[in-house]
């Protein structure tokens, strides 16, 4: 190559570089202007400072390989006109099984591959990150960064309808997402070459923690709009990964849509992942702990293989619970007077000894200020069998998201399921023991008298069901879980357990509520159920008399038992119970009035 030719090429390259740099500067200026217009949430993406902007979740190296590979394969699979692959993957699971960590890992891998369009990590009680309002703006801003060709289309949408930028506007959330995100991407995708469209991996949007958003109606709106968009554009090279609990109101529409894959992360929480998680955490901590190092020099490895196996079993599939135990083992309960070492605390973690009371207290304190905290925790503690989130909400007559709000910060000790229809359970029965021990649980103590409250709630639940379906009955096929529970345990369990202790003064108002509900129940019950209800009413009135000493309550109880007895002629199988309870009420009236006539009535009724 001659010197002249080389110089000419270099001059040409310099000019191209200058032109390209000038164009880049123009693009940067345009984007900066668009960024100012969109006002995205800066700490909502996967690149946020996770310490300051939770969730602070990441996969430990070597864990979750199977599910991550499966998701990456789904993300990377090319669009085909012949094979219709779902555009939406919804990964769900109980709180603590690692959804956010997996979303973070997939975000980082997809970002490295150049196909990540946008990410949004919701977080409860984190201002705009717990609301849907700025989601469209934030996704649009990231889309403009990831795919600059979308900038003119986003700008055109904003210029035509400036109100799209406003959270409070005449546009619905779905319209804003369509105009600011989906339509600009579609416009650019329409210009892709065949290879870009069908041979390269699709672009990806990741949304984590959708269940932590307070705007439930807007969440529904967003999902509906997204499903509709992909139905209209079934071959568009875009996929959406959502990692979140599946709440009751959206589960049915997702399950019925062929454009969505629902994947339960609980099916992929392997023992090997927990073993690797434990190994990495323990190695990191033991290297920097002189007490453990001294112990290991003298005694060998710590913990022993058998103790490690016990800890893995103890953790189950919850990475959050595992993290909580590790924090306790290596850092204690946080009490100033705690001078124990990790060697001392390890066996406590294995047995959930009362030494963990401090952990329970600090964990529960995170949610105690939230509405319905006491009722929710007390209900879960005293239920005869677990109910789902939707069941607890129906029993307490509140919204499901209000129950979730209480539980979400307690996921280290309470297994919060991935859907509203799966049971809520304590990870360990020791938490129930703790909550029902006044000296240990202090202000979180669940009083036995709360059984009276549960009896009232169950009765209210039944009454509502009878009003909606008069002939529903305890064996009706369409009963919800809460109504079925109310029939099964409202009286037979919670009333009887409440009566084992003397009715506390604070429970008396609840007893009055129960009696009023029972009066209303008698107005709607079918005749076949009336005898049993009259008997319950009589027992409750007798209990109220024991506290109030009002003869009117006792006389009404006697009247109820007599009416129940009339509805149970010989040889009714429950007649003897009616006789027994009537006799008890008459005997109480004799004890109160010392009138022999009442005792004679009791004797005559007993003889009949």
Q: What is the pLDDT of residues 247-271, one digit of tens each?
A: 876 776 787 777 899 999 878 877 8
What would the two tokens of residue 291 be?
């007490």
Check residue 444 and give its pLDDT: 97
pLDDT greater at residue 225 or residue 335 = 225
**246/90 Cα distance (integer angstroms):** 8
Per-residue burial over 321-337, b if 16 or more Cβ lie within 10 Å, else e, is: bbbbbbebbbebbeeee
**226/287 Cα distance (integer angstroms):** 49
Check residue 354 and give its pLDDT: 42
Check residue 63 and give its pLDDT: 87
pLDDT greater at residue 558 or residue 392 = 392
Segment 519-547 mean pLDDT: 87
Q: Would you say 454 and 488 are in contact if contact means Cβ atoms under 8 Å apart?
A: no
Check residue 10 and give its pLDDT: 45
**539/503 Cα distance (integer angstroms):** 13
Q: How confident is the model at residue 7 (pLDDT cuts 50, 70, 90)?
A: very low
What is the enclosing helix (H) or strand (E) of 586? helix 575-593
pLDDT in tens, 309-361: 999 988 877 787 788 788 888 877 555 566 889 999 899 888 754 456 877 88
Which of 227, 44, 42 minimizes the C-alpha distance to 219?
227
Q: Mean pLDDT over all residues of the chain?
A: 85
What would the two tokens of residue 427 be?
């990870």
**277/300 Cα distance (integer angstroms):** 21
* 327-336 contacts, C-beta under 8 A, 24 or more apart: 328/356, 328/359, 330/285, 330/289, 333/357, 333/358, 333/359, 333/362, 334/358, 334/362
Check residue 608 and give its pLDDT: 54
pLDDT in tens, 47-80: 998 888 888 888 888 889 889 999 999 998 876 6
Domains and CATH numbers, the chain: 39-268 (3.40.50.300), 271-351 (no CATH), 365-444 (1.10.10), 450-607 (1.25.40)
Phi, psi of 250, deg, nearest 5: -115, -10
What would the two tokens of residue 431 be?
């938490």
Check residue 402 and give its pLDDT: 94
Check residue 508 and give its pLDDT: 85
Check residue 82 and give its pLDDT: 52
Query: Would the pLDDT of 150 be above 60?
Result: yes
Degrees, nearest 5: CA angle 234-249-456: 175
Distances (CA, A) of 395 to 285, 387, 446, 450, 536: 45, 9, 17, 14, 20
**474/476 Cα distance (integer angstroms):** 6
Q: How confident is the model at residue 425 (pLDDT cuts 50, 70, 90)?
A: confident
pLDDT greater at residue 503 or residue 130 = 130
Q: How confident is the model at residue 131 (pLDDT cuts 50, 70, 90)?
A: very high
Check residue 30 and give its pLDDT: 59
Query: Would the pLDDT of 607 be above 60?
Result: no
Check residue 603 and give its pLDDT: 54
Q: How confident is the model at residue 502 (pLDDT cuts 50, 70, 90)?
A: low
Segment of 94-108, 148-162, 514-528, 579-593 carrying the highest mean pLDDT = 148-162
What is the enclosing helix (H) or strand (E) of 205? strand 203-208
Residue 43, helix vs strand vs coil: coil
pLDDT greater at residue 328 or residue 242 = 242
Residue 140 CA to chain centroid, in angstroms? Answer: 28
Residue 29, helix vs strand vs coil: helix
Q: How confident is the model at residue 162 (pLDDT cuts 50, 70, 90)?
A: very high
**358/349 Cα distance (integer angstroms):** 12
pLDDT greater at residue 563 or residue 4 = 563
Q: How confident is the model at residue 3 (pLDDT cuts 50, 70, 90)?
A: very low
Query: Would the pLDDT of 373 be above 70?
Result: yes
Query: Would the pLDDT of 363 be above 90?
Result: no
Check residue 242 and give its pLDDT: 97
Segment 453-462 mean pLDDT: 96
Q: How confident is the model at residue 188 (pLDDT cuts 50, 70, 90)?
A: very high
Check residue 25 and give its pLDDT: 53
Check residue 470 and give its pLDDT: 79
Give the N- to C-terminal CA distance of the chain in Å, as an integer: 125
Lowest-pLDDT range, 3-17, 21-35, 53-67, 306-320? 3-17
Check residue 206 and give its pLDDT: 98
pTM: 0.71
Q: How confident is the model at residue 9 (pLDDT cuts 50, 70, 90)?
A: very low
């Amino acid at each position: 190559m001659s010197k002249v030719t080389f110089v000419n090429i270099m001059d040409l390259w310099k000019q191209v570089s200058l032109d390209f740099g000038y164009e880049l500067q123009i693009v940067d200026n345009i984007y900066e202007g668009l960024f100012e217009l969109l006002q995205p949430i800066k700490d909502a993406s996967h690149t946020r400072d996770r310490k300051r902007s939770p969730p602070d979740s990441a996969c430990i190296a070597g864990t979750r390989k199977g599910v991550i590979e499966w998701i990456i394969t789904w993300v990377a699979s090319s669009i085909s006109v012949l094979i219709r692959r779902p555009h939406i993957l919804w990964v769900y699971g109980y709180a603590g099984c690692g959804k956010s960590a997996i979303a973070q890992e997939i975000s980082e891998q997809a970002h490295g591959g150049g196909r990540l369009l946008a990410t949004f990590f919701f977080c409860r009680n984190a201002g705009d990150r717990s609301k849907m309002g700025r989601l469209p703006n934030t996704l649009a801003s990231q889309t403009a960064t990831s795919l600059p060709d979308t900038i003119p289309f986003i700008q055109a949408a904003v210029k035509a309808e400036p109100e799209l930028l406003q959270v409070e506007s005449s546009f619905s959330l779905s319209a804003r997402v369509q105009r600011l995100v989906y339509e600009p991407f579609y416009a650019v995708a329409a210009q892709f070459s065949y290879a870009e469209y069908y041979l390269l991996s699709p672009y990806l949007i990741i949304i984590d923690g959708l269940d932590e958003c307070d705007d439930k109606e807007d969440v529904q709106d967003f999902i509906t709009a997204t499903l509709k968009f992909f139905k209209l554009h079934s071959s568009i090279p875009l996929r959406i990964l959502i990692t979140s609990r599946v709440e009751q109101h959206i589960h049915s529409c997702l399950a019925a849509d062929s454009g969505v894959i629902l994947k339960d992360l609980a099916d992929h929480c392997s023992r090997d992942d927990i073993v690797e998680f434990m190994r990495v955490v323990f190695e990191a901590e033991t290297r920097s702990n002189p007490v453990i190092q001294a112990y290991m020099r003298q005694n060998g490895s710590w913990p022993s293989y058998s103790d490690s196996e016990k800890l893995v079993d103890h953790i189950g599939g919850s990475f959050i619970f595992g993290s909580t135990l590790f924090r306790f083992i290596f850092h204690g309960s946080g009490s100033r007077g705690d001078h124990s070492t990790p060697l001392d605390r390890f066996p406590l973690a294995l047995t959930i000894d009362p030494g963990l009371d401090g952990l329970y207290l600090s964990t529960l304190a995170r949610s105690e200020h939230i509405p319905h905290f006491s009722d929710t925790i007390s209900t879960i503690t005293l239920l005869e069998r677990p109910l789902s989130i939707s069941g607890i909400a129906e029993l307490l007559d509140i919204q499901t998201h209000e129950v979730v709000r209480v539980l979400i910060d307690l996921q280290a000790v309470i297994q919060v399921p991935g859907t509203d229809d799966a049971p809520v359970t304590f990870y360990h029965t020791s938490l129930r023991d703790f909550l029902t021990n006044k000296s240990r649980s202090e202000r979180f103590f669940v009083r036995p008298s709360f059984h009276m409250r549960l009896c009232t709630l169950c009765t209210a639940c039944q009454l509502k069901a009878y009003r909606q379906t008069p002939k529903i009955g305890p064996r009706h096929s369409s009963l919800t879980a809460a109504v079925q529970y109310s029939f099964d345990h409202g009286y037979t369990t919670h009333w009887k357990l409440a009566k084992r202790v003397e009715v506390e003064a604070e429970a008396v108002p609840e007893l009055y509520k129960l009696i009023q509900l029972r009066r209303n129940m008698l107005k709607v019950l079918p005749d076949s159920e009336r005898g049993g209800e009259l008997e319950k009413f009589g027992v409750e009135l007798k209990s109220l008399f024991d506290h109030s000493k009002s003869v009117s309550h006792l006389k009404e109880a006697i009247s109820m038992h007599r009416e129940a007895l009339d509805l149970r002629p010989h040889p009714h199988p429950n007649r003897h119970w009616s006789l027994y309870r009537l006799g008890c009420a008459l005997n109480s009236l004799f004890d109160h009035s010392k009138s022999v006539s009442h005792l004679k009535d009791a004797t005559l009724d007993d003889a009949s």
